[in-house]
Each structure stands twice: as structure tokens, then as C-alpha cells.
Amino acid sequence: MRNAAVVALTAGALLTVSPLAAPAHAVPVPPIASKGAVLLNNATGTAVYTKTPDTRRQMASTTKIMTAAVVVNTKGINLNHVVTIKQSYRDYVVKQGASSADLKTGDKVTVRQLLYGTMLPSGCDAAYALADLLGKGTTPAARTKSFIAKMNQTATSLGLKNTKFDSFDGISQAGQNYTTPRDLAKIASYAMKNANFRAVVATPKYVTTAPTSKGTKRTYTWYNTNQLLGSYKGAIGIKTGTGTAAGPCLVFAATRGDKTFVGVTLNGADRYKDAAKLLDFGFGSSTAKTMQLRSLPAGAERD
């Protein structure tokens, strides 16, 4: 999502960098460029690193983590349910100048395919389709509003006091779509408990087909905008986001051996290096120094 968000919000900011419950090995606390960051031990939920962890900030397309989490945790959800793509989904991304899965009007895609379209190329059209499907109401506006309410209800159920959604994809008109590094890491940990969510966000490239309105088959190829996948050993997700107010954002996770860490960097010009440094701090390694980022092909979405 490249749309301009509004203003960064602050609340109860912790203005120091803190290695909390630091790893037992002697690993120096890494300096990072991102304005806010958190690294959580996923098994315990303990923060092993924080930088302004409770400062409210715009989150851009990392919003879609909650979008997908609401979908996969909807009671009785059928991931093979078929959705017909509406022209309004395409019109929306054109109007907003938003990232897109380039879904074609009349194509019949499954909820599972929409999840991949939402999380890999950061498709705002795919996110719109999911919100329109699962929200309640007689109009698209009512249904998307209902879906966003579910996102906020989930945040409340997780005990998050510094997170608010006014968008299903991170395109915020009023600037009331914000979180903190700590809250966003908790959202990510919650989402990663679901096996279907984990499978989606760990996928670097997804190729699928869908019936068209003319009865033919269309092939969709989506590349994951998260370049940490395939670049950092053990990386298993999760989501990028970029916006004018939000800056470059990254929610990430990696597993090595019996350790899994989930982390967040918000508003950081070098988000991948920052993420690798934080993961190195958790694992006690030095991968960041030699990491080479996986490249995205020409024409692939960037976020």
C-alpha cells in the first residue's frame, strides 16, 4: 500500500532502546535506523529488544496482517469458497493508487487465493474482496465497515490499547489507522498461530489459476514483497508496508532450531537490515553482515 497516510501518533512513548530479557550469549545490542522496533520471543511473548515500543505510528499495509487473521479465524470459514471479482475492487485500487493483485473482473477465485493475493503482492483489491465477503450489510460500504469493526474487536480481545483500524488494507483517510511496535508484534504472533496464515506468509512465489467469466482459465503469479524470505536463514514471514506517513515497515519472523522470534520495524529506511540485525541479536548470529536480499522480478509489486 503506497497511499499517503496522515500523521504519526504518539502515546506513552518509551524513548530509549532497551534489550529486554537479552539472550544469554554476549551479543551487542544492534543499532538500527527504524524509529520503532520490537523483537519478541514467540514462545513466551517476552520482548528481547525494544525501541520506542509503545509509540503510536501509522502501519501502512502491515494492516493486512489483521485482515488475514480475521479471515482465517472466522468460525466456519471455508477457504475454498468461491468469490466473483467485482469491477469495484479494480476501480478502488486505481482510485487510491494502491498495490494490487491485478484481479480481473468476473474471475472466480477462492478465499484462499484472496489471502495469497492480499499478503504476497499486498493486493488492496484482494483485501477489499475479503472485507466485502465477510462483513455484514447491504452495501459494500456497510460490509467493509463491519469487517473493520471485526478487526478492532480482535485487537481489543488481544488486550491492545494502542491500536486502531479504520481501514482493511492500510489506506487511511483520517489517520486513525495506527498501532505500536509492541501491539503489532502481538497481532503477528496471534496470526502466526494459524497454520493457513503461516503457509501464506512463508511463500515467496505463488502461481494459481482461476476460471474467467468466459469459461477459460487465467493464471495469476504473485511474488511476496517481503524480501527477507529467501534472504535470511530461517525467515518464515510476515508482511511489508510502505506509506508516506508510515515510512517503510516490516513485520517479520524466523525460526532456527527450537527458537522463533517475531519482530516489527516501523518507519525505517533500511528495514531488512534492521530486521536481520534484530534476529541476529535473538539467535546470537551474524547473518546480517553477509545477507543478500532476494530480488523481485521486473513488474512485481513493491511495498
Catalytic residue set: 61, 64, 122
Q: How far is CA 100 from CA 90, 126, 158, 257, 264, in A?
A: 8, 8, 29, 36, 23
The four Cα atoms 228, 226, 219, 91 give a dihedral, to 10 degrees, of: -170
The span from the CA of 113 to the CA of 247, in Å, is 28
Please name the residues in contact with 144: beta carbons below 8 A apart, sequence gap of 6 or more.
128, 131, 132, 135, 168
DSSP string, 47-64: EEEEESTT--EE-GGGGH
Return the H-helix or E-strand segment holding 159: none
Q: Please check whether residue 167 is in contact with residue 63, taking contact to mean a CB–CB distance below 8 angstroms.
A: yes
The four Cα atoms 132, 301, 199, 277 give a dihedral, to 10 degrees, of: -130
Other CB atoms within 10 A of residue 139 CB: 10
The span from the CA of 275 to the CA of 269, in Å, is 12
